[in-house]
Amino acid sequence: MKIFNHIADLQSFLNTHKQKGKKIGFVPTLGALHDGHLSLIEQCKAKTDICVCSIFVNPTQFDDPSDLEKYPR
């Protein structure tokens, strides 16, 4: 597993693999990973060469800042 914190690094990694003809899948999440996410990741891994999973907690999706503070990461 590789962790990317900067989009440019991810793009460079993926472009290298695209040039080699690799099939890339994507599983977007909003954090708080659960069994449903893990199932999607397993399916992606089975059907592609590279599975990318985003784990992004978007502060704008919370009306109450205290909800964001309590949200699992």
Catalytic residue flag (residue 37): yes
**Residue 52 phi, psi (nearest 5):** -105, 130
How many Å separate Cα 50 from the centre of its chain? 12
- Please pick, among 6, 17, 34, 37, the residue that the annotation labels catalytic: 37
24 within 8 A of 14, measured Cβ to Cβ: yes
CA atoms of 69 and 72, how far apart (whole Å): 8
Catalytically active residues, by annotation: 37
